[in-house]
Chains A and B, each alone.
Chain A
Amino acid sequence: MAAAKTSRASFATPLRILTAVPVCDGHDSAVTTINIELARHGLEVIYLGYHQAASAIVRAAIQEDANVVGISSYNGGHIVFFKEVVDQLKKSGNGDIPVFGGGGGTITHGDERLMKRQGTDRIFFAGTPLDDIMNLVKRDYARDAKPNAKFKGDRALARALTIAEENAMTVGGDYSKTSRPKAAPTVQKTGKAPGFVLGVAGPGGAGKSTLIDELTSRFLRSNPTGRIAILANDPSHPDTGGAILGDRVSAIYAQDDRVFFRSLATRGNLTGLSASAPAAIDILKKSGEFDLILVESVGVGQESDPFGIFGKAKKLVDASLFVLAPYYGGLIQLQKIALLNGADLVALNKCDHPMAHTARAEIQARLDQNGKDQMLYPTTAAKHFDPGVDHLFAAIATLAAKNS
């Protein structure tokens, strides 16, 4: 891939922008258009969604180590809301992350003056050509992500991940060859266990993100003090280098300080994970912050092995979960999926689908052929409190306990 093979000198790291719509506001038409345009211009857009509290925006900006936060507000209250976001960023020691916004005609020039005094960086008004917006964002919010000793907690961790992403790019996407041009800061807590790493893979549309979010809710309920990390890998656009990283939108349980959620664009790496994933996992483990680390691959095909399960090198994860939906295309297709031979756990999601009954029998037979100790869990992650997800979570917890 062009992006991965180009040296850092000629290929700038994509700018990472977090976009969101404020609490009690569902107007996402403008932000959707802006997201598409930003990605088309080569930016990585982490979209948080509509109806987002200031605290949720701040949490996401920190964990994603966003260059900048863009807020699209259309139903009033923007003066108070933008100030709240800016103040919370400052108060948490992350005042270096600028905030800009837009609201068609709802934000007046008078409001803009006040909002700027209160720390908002810029307001875009109706009629500003999209290209102008893109150029200003690219010009003003690019930055060099250096280690920063002042960063604390999740931001320090997030910055370490950003640097890992950049390092991975400098060596053509092959992390094993990384010369560590900038050493990723370790955020190590001594004496803490590294946490259990579960890789989650499966074809696009199988419901991986929803299932991961439901597993997150089980984790939060069963473990009253621990933390969980999620590394959500999503593809970059092969031509523009941009990406819309939208997994946070549907991750309703990730809105909790005990959840560390990081979106990673693959930046041209075709293994199913960002080239930085090995380093990123390492950083998360070494931090000692997390009891459970979930690594979600991009949608994968028949021969993929994002977690290095079949290779001779050390596996990236402690265990892996393969997720698929009942409409995989019949028995012959099922035979071809390599990960069904290697995954420790298999979830047949969307079990409310009419084909689920047949699928379950076929997959069970497929796993029986392997003669390994693989377990199949029928789940319906979209259903609230699905007992299938409970069983799957219990199985993960058992594996984690064995591992430690």
Chain B
Amino acid sequence: MSSLGRIAESVDHYNAHVAAEVARARTDKKFAAELRARWAKVQASVETTKSPTGTALPRLALPQTDEPGAIAEYLLGQGLPGEFPYANAAYREMYLDKGSSGEEPMRLFAGLGLAEDTNERFHYLSKNQKSLRLSTAFDGPTLYGMDSDAEGVLGKVGEGGVAIDTVEDMERLFAGFDLTRKDASVSMTMNAPAPVILAMFIAAAKRRFGADCVPNLRGTIQADMLKEVQAQNEVIFPIDASLRFLCDMIEWCVPNMPRWYPVSISGYHIAEAGATPVQQAAFTLSNGFTYAELLKARGCDVNEFGPRFSFFLDCGLDVEYLVLGRVCRSIWAIGMKEVFGANAKAQALKLHTQTSGRSLIAAEFQNNLTRTAVELMLAYMNYSNSCHSNSADEPFTTPTEKYALLASHGQSIIIEESGLFKHTMNLFGGAPGLLILERQVEKAILDVFREMDTLGGVLAAQEQRYQRSKIQEAGHNYEKQIYAHERPIIGLNKYISTEPMPSVPLARTSPKKQRLQVTRLKAFKKKNAAKAPEALQRLENVARHGGNVFDELVNTVEVCSLGQITGCLSHVVGKFRPMV
């Protein structure tokens, strides 16, 4: 049995354990008394507040019961927010308006044009934020580890994200931001070349803030290669080598960057590529467990790397999204505890949620504001630790300023303006419908685990292209449902407007800017022409002889471009062979 089978078993065992404890609470007087005493303590610890219209409210909504069975069911089955199995939340308090303390969950993804353009957008988006939370989208060539001067990519430079070729671009990208601030955090949606890009980020930060700034740097890099192979298709090196470079980076980050999340295990792209919510959750969690296995096999301590994992889910309009985050947290916690022997910090799943890009359409695109608002509501009901809300104009352009700002205001309206989250934590948890849905979704996820277990686990299933087939099949079904009018999409197949599409401004990168990026890159290469070959040779030696590649990359990026580095590594480990 692969660890997936054992994890599915452990969740079943845990559920049986909860049921047994509920029964015991109802028969064992001593146990009942203990539970009541604990419950009284919990209830007493809850502060109260008042709504602006004068209604008194608790800061935490608890089931109104003193029946020991119900208490046991809540405390063991769901757990208080911040307690095992974390169904309610990873932390005890989230989203509450408590003055200046606490960071807002908003994290807006931005990237366009050249580094200075994205930098300008970052300044624009963060001007009203208390804390500094930046999230970077990279352009196609960067995501594929190619230089902007590579043959045939010029038209893609700065499209859909920012073009980064060198450490100098990275310096421009974050100019004017104090990245060493305690409440600063930088997220980067970067996978196959993640080790190179993170090394550039570190090098750029050192240039600005001094060599000792590294432990203070805080943020997340996606670096989830399994989901790339399964869904997103941005892979450069063969799978083994990709996983090795990733693990090298995680191993380096754990001691050297204590505030950094070196992997964000992502279901977003799996769902965008077509997966159902259940498949998204099943593949994402199982990928996470696979990383834990790989690192354990390298001799890393689960209690050290476990807390540094973060997760990233898509949130669409399908009903399962009402509970997806809750269910994922409890499966992750139980699996990490029971199968990997992880402690509390490594059990709590930290979740970033992005509203669904696929659910947005170009026709009557202002409707996308409503779609995104509903999805955001679901994301907050699942106590996502951070959220990105998509811009309504995304189906046809990199978000323009206007719609990016509306997307960010959507979050503020739900969290800050409405009274749904700021007074009381967990107003919505525990509704009968949610509990029914949670059980269904959990069971369906475990069924996928068991199926992959029979195939030999995640990596073996992946080799048989199980995940890809399932995702493609689900994507195909989704399209067929739309065309068959079984899945209504307003403006597309229902209540279709005959109005022509309004002309809207597009954020495109001009050819002049694209050429400027190439000019800069050539200047960088020329300047470092004497030093680059030696740096690449050192990197090649480390890669060839099994050393920690990340350790060396931190030096290589000082004088080499992204494309030079991926080319060098490809020379050693080969190229990824795509799967259909």
Contact = CB atoms under 8 A, between A and B. Distances in A.
Interface of A: 22-29, 32-33, 36, 47, 49-51, 53-55, 75-81, 84, 104-106, 108-110, 125-127, 129-131, 210, 213, 244, 246, 249-250, 252, 382, 384-385
B163 to A, nearest CB: 11
B232 A250 contact: no
B472 interface: yes
Contacts of A29: 272-274, 472, 475
A182 B549 CA distance: 60
A382 to B, nearest CB: 7
B396 A24 contact: no
Interface residues of B, number: 53
Interface in B546-579: 573-579
Interface string B153-188: 111110110000000000000000000000000000
Interface of B: 139-141, 143-144, 146, 151-157, 159-160, 228, 232-234, 238, 241, 272-274, 361-363, 365, 395-398, 472, 475-476, 479-480, 483, 492-493, 501, 503, 506, 508, 511, 573-580
Given A24-B146, A28-B273, A127-B361, 18 more contacts: A24-B140, A24-B144, A25-B140, A26-B234, A28-B233, A29-B472, A53-B151, A55-B152, A77-B156, A105-B362, A108-B396, A125-B362, A126-B492, A249-B579, A250-B579, A250-B580, A252-B576, A385-B574
Given A50-B233, A250-B580, A126 B476 contact: no
8 contacts: A25-B140, A26-B228, A51-B578, A77-B157, A127-B361, A127-B493, A130-B480, A384-B573
Contacts, number: 127
Contacts of B157: 77
Residue in A32, A125, A210 whose Cβ sees the most chain B Cβ within 10 Å: A32
Contacts of B398: 76
Contacts of A104: 362, 395
A24 B156 contact: yes
A284 to B, nearest CB: 25
Given A24-B139, A32-B472, A54-B152, A105 B361 contact: yes
Contacts of B272: 29
A26 B233 contact: yes
Residue of A47, A213, A252 most packed against chain B (CB within 10 A) = A252
A252 B479 contact: no
Contacts of A80: 154-156, 511
A76 B154 CA distance: 11
A32 B274 CA distance: 10
B155 A84 contact: yes
Contact of B503 (A47, A110, A244): A110
Contacts of A76: 140, 156, 159-160, 398, 508
A201 to B, nearest CB: 21
A210 B577 contact: yes
Contacts of B476: 32-33, 36
Interface centre among B234, B395, B476, B577 (most CB of A within 10 A): B577
B156 A384 contact: no
Nearest to B362: A105
A126 to B, nearest CB: 6
Nearest to A75: B160
Counting chain B CB atoms within 10 Å of each CB, the highest count among A25, A47, A77, A384 belongs to A77
A28 B228 CA distance: 12
| Ranked 6 nearest A-B pairs via Cβ | A80-B155, A24-B140, A105-B362, A26-B233, A384-B574, A76-B159
